[in-house]
Structure 1
């Protein structure tokens, strides 16, 4: 195992540990907040966040990615990037403040929505100023520090501030305070660890050079925002604030554990792949291996979440959120497809080939807009909109597969094999959990059914880890040391 591979594996372990820990905190937090707030509160926050998210990717300007991907980086470069962050972040924050009333009018929200949008605009400046520090941490491959800063800022800044504010009766504003607390604490902790110069250097030539790459990253992020939030905007405008709240909580329940895994891996893979961006053979192998592990894990988790969605919603969110349960399976599948595609996006970003990524996102957006128009025309409701989103994600997945197949034709078979094995395993898990529910329905409370489903899923997972050497993703995880030796030893003896 090379030194880079060893560092990457250690980084994966740390970031996955932080992701699991964050999920463990998020679950009781979401359960508590679902009982302290109403669907209308979550709907207002979801709609308010649409406008700042519109500017979020431009506020960062792809600066963290630019810090990581650059082949060489000097102290002067850092000062230029910080100056760019200060400029772009301030402009975006001011722009959101000005257009807040028009954003509230677009989704037909109450007057309070304008104040919520303007408060969240402050987070754009905070995030932009912290982008240089977070990029430097990732570039230096200090994965333990990245994991700890992410976890601490999430637990203290987001969950701690949010739930305290809710208990004090802040209502929807508790969600705003939690978001701002998260952004601020993450920026401060990241800076404390790298302590880069805070003297901005306004060198226009070098700032344009940074923006050549960072600007394309921002455009990609903006297009991802459109494809992710267009359905939410349509729901809020045509179905109401409460429906947007149900959608928002269903999306959280369906995607949060999956996002933790994807984000943990992306934080490690971007700096690691950037260091070998000119070594085609190693990039191809890394891509095939990452896709094998990713598809196997994410599709399996989706099967667990989707098959037990009714029990999960009832137990974690409560009776007032029952309408979210039927949205969880399809939102989970949409999330899986989007997150798997993000690994392909991370690879091309590490190579600096972000132009083709823009084209793919534009094609996805066109499919989504057309599908949304048809869904609204046919009065398909929320389910019609979800079908349009699913179709757009499938198009994105196919386009990435075709593009990377041309770049790395040698990995065509292992990548396709990874997809097929992940689909088969997720089908097996879904069937097993559905059978458990069928047997126990009407005989046991929902919590007991959920416990039995999770126990069945755990048994299947352990069997795959121990005896699933034929699965490409399991084989890669063993070879890379991603699995504890105690779990794989019996299977190794069998070989």
Structure 2
């Protein structure tokens, strides 16, 4: 029997959709930020511990297996979860049909991957008798079972529940399993088992929180529901498939031209870039997609929200980019240990493109929220081609060359998605670029304090002290610059203040906030 809130899983009750949307979005942003901070902390623990328990080659072997599994996940889920988020109206039969389709596809693709593993494995550098891909096929089944529950939690703006699921799955499932097995000498297998347990905890935890209908409706009803859900989902999957190639084309190039050990070093550098990118960009995307979906027909509000989100991303990202560029040698030494010095230069290259790497997620949120997934799909494929070609050319100069090629592709994709987003409002590109420019003084102040602080501390202090002292100096300078220019960021600061405010008492309408 389905619970009351799944009869129409659109959103919880609110005093009025327009007035409550901004408050729901900023509170969702708060919870998502808490979750991202918690997961970033857990991932840092994972990086620190596992980099001392596993070799670069073992990391590379596990990454190669994960690349194949990731492709199968994209093909299997057909964008069903995001389709539920984006849908204007949603009925129980739509949810039940979506679950049946996702679960069935997960089982079919898991069987295909299990049977094809001896053929696919050698293509990504795995031995023909490796059992990693066959074990990872279980993740496809679990992912299909959990995709609808996760989509409904996001649609209902239940970000606290999402945070609990994600932190529990990563902390208990992945980190706990991986560290225990790696300490016992399991090698690359520890990383593979960790992903399986993480997928299991995610699927069980998400369904326990939503308890959506799972019994498929009658065949005619199921066909109608599938058309509604899969119309968006299939186009979204086409975009995600291009995004998968864009995100993994560099890994495929590295493992095929430079070998598993080089892939291990490259993947560590990219993982360190992903930490701040996920902390900022993925959090914003998770909140913006359902929020923008609710106002998808109001182009003025969409444009204001897009510009405001981009400005917040720049304000948060640029100082982090500067600090990562300055402190790359110490960050690698502290987090990975002395055997990973080859990661320093690629990490510095990636630090330069942290803003575009983070900001194009905002454009992706807008694209999905407005249903323009086909337009976004071919742009994702263009990005995939740019990454593959750029990394193939750069591989002649080793891992740093691959990082440069990937970074050029990131900047090109950011520009492409920004121009595509401008279709909703004339002059949007200029407004976004001007919002970025407002954050440049904050970045300059960070650099002016961080560079001399690091140079002063390096000769005589441990790496951890260099990191701490430089970060404190840079953030103090950034805070002072922001305080001096706070009039330029009134809307941004208002949104952040709304995230901390208490709900209005009964009978009193909540104050509206700009930008959404």
TM-score normalised according to structure 1 size: 0.92
Look up the SS of the partner of 2:459 in the other structure.
coil
Q: How far 1:196 moved relative to its partner? A: 1.1
Name stretches of at least 5 consecutive residues in structure 2 with no aligned partner. 1-17, 502-516
Q: Tell whether the 8 Å contact from 1:59 to 1:125 is kept in structure 2 after alignment.
A: no
Distance 1:103 1:278 in 2: 44
Residue 311, structure 1, aligned to residue 327, structure 2: no
Counterpart Cα distance in 2 of 1:276 and 1:393: 29
Select 1:362's aligned residue among 371, 375, 381: 381
State the shift of 1:200 in Å.
2.9
Q: How many residues align?
A: 481
Matched, 1:225 2:244: yes
Matches within 5 A, 1:35-434: 35-111=52-128, 114-201=130-217, 203-376=222-395, 379-434=396-451
Measure the CA separation in 2 of the matches of 1:76 and 1:449.
Answer: 58
Q: 1:326 to 1:197 in 2, by over 3 A?
A: same
Q: Which moved more, 1:75-84 or 1:16-25?
A: 16-25
Within 2, Cα distance between the matches of 1:61 and 1:40?
A: 33
1:329 deviates by 1.8
Who is 1:30 aligned against? 47
Change (3 A) 1:347 1:442: same
- 1:29, CA displacement in angstroms? 2.5
Residue pair 1:51, 1:100 contacting (<8 A) in 2 also? no
Judge conservation of contact 2:78–2:233 (CA < 8 Å) in 1.
yes
What is the deviation of 1:80? 0.7
CA distance in 2, matches of 1:363, 1:374: 17
CA positional deviation for 1:293 = 0.3
Contact 2:443–2:478 under 8 Å retained in 1: no
Structure 1 segments of 4+ aligned residues over 4 angstroms from their partners: 482-485
Q: CA deviation at 1:287?
A: 0.6
User: Is 1:17 aligned to residue 31 of structure 2?
Assistant: no
Q: Distance in 2 between matches of 1:13 and 1:457?
A: 24
Q: SS at the partner of 2:131?
A: helix
**CA RMSD for the aligned pairs?**
2.0
Partners in 1 of 2:113 and 2:440 — Cα distance? 42
CA distance in 2 between partners of 1:147 and 1:465 (Å): 30
Deviation at 1:8, TM superposition (A): 1.0
Q: Which residue in the other structure is 1:490 paired with?
A: none
CA pair 449-380 structure 1, distance change in 2 beyond 3 A:
same
Aligned-residue offset at 1:335: 4.9
Distance 1:458 1:482 in 2: 23
Q: Is the contact between residue 246 and residue 385 of structure 2 (CA under 8 Å) also seen in structure 1? A: no
Contact 2:93–2:216 (8 Å) recurs in 1: no
Deviations 1:232-273 (A, max 9, x none): 111111111111111111111122132132222222111111
Determine helix, strand or coil for the equivalent of 2:497.
Answer: coil
Q: CA deviation at 1:385?
A: 2.0
